[in-house]
A and B are shown apart, each in its own frame.
Chain A
Amino acid sequence: MQITEIRDSGAELRQFQLRIGIAGFAVLAAFALLTLRFFYLQVVQHEAYRAKAEENRISIVPVSPYRGLILDRNAVVIARNYSGYTLEIFPRRVKDLSGTIDRLSELVDIQPRDRFRFRKLLQETRNAESLPIRNRLSDEEAARFAVRRYQFEGVELKARLFRQYPFGDVGSHVLGYMGRVDQADLARLESEGVFANYRGTEYIGKAGIEASYQHELHGTTGFEQVEIDAAGRGIRSLSRQASQPGNNIMLTLDMRLQQVAEAAFGERRGALVALDPSTGGVLALVSKPGFDPNLFVDGIDPQYWSELNANIDKPLNNRAISGVYPPGSTFKPFMAMAALESGKRKFSSTIHDPGYFDFGGRRFRDSKVGGHGTVDLMKSIVVSSDTYYYQLANDMGIDAIAAFMRQLGLGARTGIDLQNEAAGVLPSQEWKMKRFRQPEQQKWYPGETISIGIGQGYNAYTPIQLAQAMATVASGGTAYRPHLVAHIDNTRSGERRSVDTELLHRVPLRRENVEFVKQAMAGVIKEGTGRWAFAGASYSVGGKTGTAQVIATKQNEKYDEKKVDERLRDHSLFVAFAPLDSPRIAVAVVVENGGFGARAAAPITRTVLDYFMLGKVPPGLARGTPEDEGAEARGSD
C-alpha cells in the first residue's frame, strides 16, 4: 500500500523535494542575514559597542528615604536620624574576603565582633549586594579609607542614615527598636504588596512604634540612574527621582512624665500606664527593665542580644501591654461598681467582718487578723476589707462579675497601637470550659468565685487593661481605645492626620454610683491604705492599693515576706486617677515582687501624679533632656 502511494504521488514527491530546496535556500538566506548583522555589530561597530560596554553602563540605584521622626506631645524629638559613614563590602566582587578585612583593619578599627557580625550577615542574607563590615566610622577613619579606596576592590564607603534615640532607654518599649530586614520581613513586605518601595531599605522597625507605624515612618524610595564603571563603581548620576521622607509621628506621650515615671521605678521591675481618660491617649507607658534601642541601630551586637534574651527579667518583654498580673485589691473598686450597678449592694448596707469568710468548708482569710468589724461599702474600699468582697463575689456569681468587668475592658486586648498585646484572663464559666480539656476541670466551682472578688484566682490582666478600666470608671463610663499616636504629619505637604480618639463604647453607669466609688477611692488616699504615700498631696486624687499573690499561701499559714524568695514575693499594685472632678489622668502601676501595694506602687504613683498635676520634678532628676540641647528648650514646660 505504501508503495502504491509513492508511485501515485511521484510528481508530488518531486514537488515536495523542490519545496525542501526552497526551504534550504531560505535557511541559508536567513543565516546569511544574521551573519551580516553579526559582522556589522561585531566588526564594523565593534569599537562603538565596546566603548558602550566599558563606559556607558547604567545602573539603577534605589535612594532610601529619610525616616520620619517620632516626637512626644510637646514636640520633643525622641527618635531621629543622623548620618554616618559605613564601610561596606560587596561579597561578589571580593575574591579574598578575610584577607580584605585584614587589610581594612589596618586602616579602620575592626573588632572581632564586627567580623563575627559580618560573617553572620553573610550567612543569613545570601543575595545581598553589599554588607556592612563597620558602621559609624569616625571622620578620620573615613578619610584614611577614602584615600586608599583604589586598593580595595569591592569595598565602599557609604553615607547612611542611622536611627538615634536621644533619651537612651527611656521609653524603650514605646519606641521599640530597628533591625536589619530579614527573610520574614521580606515575605511580609511582599505579601503586603509594598516590596518595591523597600528596595534599598536595610533596616526596619521590629518592635514598638517603630514597628507598628513602620509604613508611615518609612517614606517613599526614590531611584537614581547612575553610570558605573567596569568594576561597578558609580561614576556620575544621570537622573534622579528623589525619595520622599517618611511621615513624622507625634505621640500622646509626655516624655518628661515618662522620665519621671521610669526614674521612680529605679531598679525595680514592673509596669506603669498613664492614660488621659477623656481621649484614651497614653501619657506614659513604662516597662522595666528596658533596653537601649540605640544598641540595635546598626545590627545589634550578638553578645548584648543574647544577654537581653537570656536575662530572667526579660527586658525585651513589654510588661505594660503583654505582662499579665492578678489585680489584687485594685479590683475592689470595680467590684463595688458592679455591686451598685447590679443592685446587689446599696450605699448603706453593711456586713460584719470577723476576719474570715467560710464557704463550703473552707475558710477565706482577711489580710487583717480579727477583721474590720462592721463594714459598709465605702469602708470596704477605704480599709480594703477582703471579707466584704468574698461575700459580694459569692452573692453576685462569676458570670455576673465577668459580664460587668468585660464592659470595663478587662480580659480583652485594648487595641493599643503596639504589637504583641496580651489578652489576659477574665474568668467565667465559659472561659473555663474553653481553657481546659478534662471535663472535671472545665466545670466552674462556686468556691472559685470567692477569691475572684479580691482580684485573685484566675484573674489576670495587663497593666494597660487596669489603666483602661480605671479611666473608664473615672470618666463616668466612656471607654476610649488607648493609643500612643496623636497625629501623623506629612513633612512635605504639611498635611496633618489626626488619630481620632476612638470611643469604644459607653458603659451605662449611674452618676451617683460613679461618684460614690470615686469618693471611696478618695477616702483611700485621705484615710485608707494610701494615706502614707499621699500624705500632704495638694490636689484631689482617688486611688486603690493592691497586693497580688505570686505564690498561694496555705489556708492556715500566714504569708511571711522575709521567708519568701525575692522573686516569689507579692506584686505591689496601685490604680489612681486625678483630679476627682473631670479627671485628666488615670494610672495603673505594677511593681513586681514589690510587696504590699501601699509600699512600692503607691509612692511611684504619687511621684508621677505630683509631676503631672504640679510639675514637681523629683530631686535627682535633672531638668531638660539628655544629649539634646535643642529638645531641651522645647521640652521643659
Chain B
Amino acid sequence: MDVAGLPLRRIGLRIAEGIDQTLLVLVLALSMLGLAALFSASYENPSRVLGQLANLGLALAAMWLVAQISPQTLMRFAVPAYLAGLVLLVAVALFGDVVNGARRWLHVGVTRFQPSEVMKLALPMLLAWYFHKHEASLRLRDFAVAAVLLVIPVAFILRQPDLGTAALVGAVGFIAIFFAGISWRVLGVLGGLGLAVLPLAWGMLRDYQRQRILMLLDPTQDPLGAGYHIIQSTIAVGSGGPWGKGWLNGTQAHLEFIPERHTDFIFAVYSEEFGLLGNLVLLVLYSLLIARGLVIAANAATVFARILAVSIALMTFIYAFVNMGMVSGILPVVGVPLPFLSYGGTALLTLFIGTGILMSVQKHRTLVQT
C-alpha cells in the first residue's frame, strides 16, 4: 500500500505546493455559491451550470499554473501582456462582434472573449513593473508616464463603449499608482482638477450611459426603460427578506423579471433566495478574501509584487462592491460581473489567474526575511 501511496502523496504535495489554502478555500466557496445561484437562474437547467463548471476547471488549472511562476518571472510578462492587450483592443475595435450595441467581443477560433478583460490584469502588471523599475528615483514625471499608460487602454475600452469596464480598469490602474506612493498633495490637486473636468467628461458619455447615471437618482421615472433593471432587482433583494425565499424559490428571477440574471444580475437571484443572511455570508467571504490579499501585499518581497498584489485584491473588492451596490440600487447600472459568481468564462479566468498571482507572491515573500 505504501509503495503505491507514496508517489501519490508526493504528487499531491507537489500539486499543493505554492497553493495558498486560505485563498483556495475562499474562492472555491464563492464559486460554489455562484453555481447554486446560476442553477436557479437557469430554471434548473443544468447545461449552463455544466458550462460554468467547465470554465471553473479551466480557471483552476490556470490559477495553479500561475501560482507556480515566481513574481520575478511574472514581471517579464508585464510589457508583452500589456502590448498584447492593446493589440487585442485595437483588433476588437476593428473586427469585434457587436452585442447589444457595443463592440466588445473578439472571435478566437471556436470561442470569443472580451479583450478588455485582459487589461484588468495586464494594466496593473505593467504599472507594477514600471514602478519597480523606477523605484529608486520616483518623481512626479514617473507618475505622469504611468497615468498615460493607464489612459490609453481605458480610452479604448470607453470607446467600445463599455463604461463599467473602463471605470474599473481605470480604478485598478489608479490603485497601482496610489500604492506606488504618489503624494497626498498631488492627489489633492488632481482630485480638484478632476472635479473641474467632470462636466467635460459628462459631455463625452453616450446617451445611454448618461441615462443610466440619471436613472440612479430616480429609477422610478422610467420603470419600463432604463430604470427597469434597478427597480426589478431591488424588489428581488428586498423581497428576499432576512432569511431568503429558499433556494430555487425566487419568483422574481423565475418569472423573468430579472434581466441578465445569469451574469451581471446574479446577485439579485442569490439575494432573493438566500436573503440578508446569505448576503452577509457573501460579504464575509469577500472580506476575508480581500483581507488575505492585502496581507499578502503587505508582506510582499518586491515593489512589483506588492503593487500587483494590492491591485488584484482591491480589484476584487471594487467589482464586488460595484456589482452589489448596483443590484441593490445604490450605484449606477454598469456592466460589472460579481466576482466568482457571475456566469462567464473570461471573467472567471481573470479572477483565478489573479488569485494565482497572489499565491505566487505569498510563496515568494521569504526574500524579505532572509
Q: Is the CB of B235 within 8 A of A53?
A: yes
The 5 closest A-B pairs by CB, nearest first: A49-B238, A53-B239, A41-B238, A42-B276, A49-B239
Q: Within the complex, which residue of A41, A46, A232 is in contact with B328, where a contact is CB–CB below 8 Å?
A: A41
Say what secondary structure dominates the interface of chain B: helix
Contact (A31, B136) CB under 8 Å given A2-B301, A20-B297, A41-B237:
no
Q: Is A107 an interface residue when CB atoms closer than 8 A count as contact?
A: no
- Give the CA-CA distance A5 to B132 in the complex, in Å: 10
Q: Is A38 an interface residue when CB atoms closer than 8 A count as contact?
A: yes
Kindly provide the distance from the CB of B216 to the nearest chain A CB, expressed in whole angstroms: 13
A53 contacts which chain B residues (CB < 8 A)?
Answer: 235-236, 238-239, 251-252
Q: Is the CB of B310 within 8 A of A42?
A: no
Q: Is B81 an interface residue when CB atoms closer than 8 A count as contact?
A: no
Q: Is B143 an interface residue when CB atoms closer than 8 A count as contact?
A: no
Q: Is B302 an interface residue when CB atoms closer than 8 A count as contact?
A: yes
Kindly provide the distance from the CB of B232 to the nearest chain A CB, expressed in whole angstroms: 9
Q: Is the CB of B257 within 8 A of A57?
A: yes
A-B CB contact pairs (8 Å), 19 listed? A5-B303, A6-B301, A6-B368, A16-B179, A20-B297, A30-B317, A31-B321, A34-B321, A38-B280, A41-B234, A42-B240, A42-B242, A42-B275, A46-B239, A49-B234, A49-B239, A50-B239, A52-B235, A57-B255
Kindly provide the distance from the CB of B59 to the nearest chain A CB, expressed in whole angstroms: 24
Q: Is the CB of A30 within 8 A of B321?
A: yes
- Count residues of A near B (Cβ-Cβ below 8 Å): 44
Q: Is the CB of A5 within 8 A of B224?
A: no
Kindly provide the distance from the CB of A130 to the nearest chain B CB, expressed in whole angstroms: 14
Residue of B nearest to A15 (CB): B181
Which one of A21-29, A98-106, A606-614 contacts B? A21-29
Q: Mask for B61-97, Cβ within 8 A of A = 1, else 0?
A: 0000000000000000000000000000000000000
Say what secondary structure dominates the interface of chain A: helix
B301 contacts which chain A residues (CB < 8 A)?
Answer: 2, 6
Quick one: which of A6-61 are within 8 Å of B by CB? Answer: 6, 8-9, 12, 15-17, 19-20, 23-24, 27-28, 30-31, 33-35, 37-39, 41-43, 45-46, 48-50, 52-54, 57-60
- Give the CA-CA distance A208 to B190 in the complex, in Å: 71
**Most chain B CB inside 10 Å of its own CB: which residue of A30, A39, A45:** A30
- Give the CA-CA distance A371 to B130 in the complex, in Å: 106
- Give the CA-CA distance A6 to B135 in the complex, in Å: 10
Residue of B nearest to A6 (CB): B368
Q: Within the complex, which residue of A3, A16, A28, A42 is in contact with B287, where a contact is CB–CB below 8 Å?
A: A28
Q: Is A230 an interface residue when CB atoms closer than 8 A count as contact?
A: yes
**Most chain A CB inside 10 Å of its own CB: which residue of B235, B238, B251, B314:** B238
B283 contacts which chain A residues (CB < 8 A)?
Answer: 31, 34-35
Kindly provide the distance from the CB of A90 to the nearest chain B CB, expressed in whole angstroms: 12
Q: Is the CB of A2 within 8 A of B317?
A: no
Q: Is B156 an interface residue when CB atoms closer than 8 A count as contact?
A: no
Q: Is the CB of B286 within 8 A of A31?
A: yes
Residue of A nearest to B183 (CB): A15
Q: Within the complex, which residue of B179, B241, B286, B330 is in contact with A19, where a contact is CB–CB below 8 Å?
A: B179
Q: Is the CB of A2 within 8 A of B302?
A: yes
Quick one: which of B237-268 are within 8 Å of A by CB? Answer: 237-242, 251-252, 255, 257
Quick one: which of B261-296 are within 8 Å of A by CB? Answer: 271, 275-276, 279-280, 283, 286-287, 290-291, 294
A54 contacts which chain B residues (CB < 8 A)?
Answer: 239, 251
Kindly provide the distance from the CB of B337 to the nearest chain A CB, expressed in whole angstroms: 17
Q: Is the CB of B242 within 8 A of A43?
A: yes
Q: Is the CB of B136 within 8 A of A5?
A: yes
Kindly provide the distance from the CB of B352 to the nearest chain A CB, expressed in whole angstroms: 21
- Give the CA-CA distance A35 to B178 in the complex, in Å: 27
Q: Give the bracket for the number of chain B residues in contact with chain A.
A: 35 or more
A46 contacts which chain B residues (CB < 8 A)?
Answer: 238-239, 241-242
Q: Is the CB of A38 within 8 A of B237?
A: yes
Quick one: which of A66-93 are within 8 Å of B by CB? Answer: 92
Residue of B nearest to A42 (CB): B276
A34 contacts which chain B residues (CB < 8 A)?
Answer: 279, 283, 321, 324-325, 328, 330
Residue of B nearest to A56 (CB): B235
- Give the CA-CA distance A16 to B182 in the complex, in Å: 10
Q: Is B43 an interface residue when CB atoms closer than 8 A count as contact?
A: yes
Q: Is the CB of A232 within 8 A of B238?
A: no
Kindly provide the distance from the CB of B189 to the nearest chain A CB, expressed in whole angstroms: 18
- Give the CA-CA distance A198 to B275 in the complex, in Å: 39
Q: Is B298 an interface residue when CB atoms closer than 8 A count as contact?
A: yes
B235 contacts which chain A residues (CB < 8 A)?
Answer: 49, 52-53
Q: Is the CB of A92 within 8 A of B43?
A: yes
Known: A34-B321, A42-B275; 16 extra A-B contacts, CB below 8 A, are: A16-B179, A19-B178, A19-B179, A23-B314, A24-B290, A27-B317, A30-B321, A31-B287, A33-B330, A34-B328, A38-B276, A41-B234, A42-B241, A58-B223, A225-B224, A232-B255
- Give the CA-CA distance A59 to B276 in the complex, in Å: 27
- Give the CA-CA distance A171 to B163 in the complex, in Å: 59
Q: Is B306 an interface residue when CB atoms closer than 8 A count as contact?
A: yes
Contact (A27, B136) CB under 8 Å given A20-B294, A20-B310:
no
Q: Mask for B118-154, Cβ within 8 A of A = 1, else 0?
A: 0000000000000000011000000000000000000
Quick one: which of A529-564 are within 8 Å of B by CB? Answer: none
Quick one: which of B300-341 are within 8 Å of A by CB? Answer: 301-303, 306, 310, 314, 317, 321, 324-325, 328-330
Q: Is B367 an interface residue when CB atoms closer than 8 A count as contact?
A: yes
Q: Within the complex, which residue of B236, B271, B298 is in contact with A17, where a contact is CB–CB below 8 Å?
A: B298
